[in-house]
Amino acid sequence: MAGTRRIQPCMMTAATTFIGLVPILWSTGAGAEVAKHMAIPSIGGMAMALVSVFIIPCLNTWHKEHKLKKAFKNDPKVSETGIIV
């Protein structure tokens, strides 16, 4: 439940920023050269934020599962309680 509460605002912020900056990337008028160089890192930063929202929790879960499997192999009592000390 907490994941959906945290992901939705992040997705909405990134989507609105991306939608707002895309026209700047395609602009050709006066000042477009300066604006493009400001829009590209902003879009990249939002993309990295979205990647971190999904990738970091997956890596954390994988690490915990790996640790738990290792504990199951070494100590059969862990499988009864599910607690790693």
Domain ranges of the chain: 2-81
C-alpha to C-alpha distance for 17 and 50, rounded to whole angstroms: 12
Specify the pLDDT at position 55: 87
d(CA 75, CA 48): 39
pLDDT at residue 77 in the model: 66
Specify the higher pLDDT residue, 77 or 46.
Answer: 46
pLDDT, tens digit, 9 for 90 and up, residues 25-65: 888 888 888 888 888 998 898 888 888 888 888 898 899 88
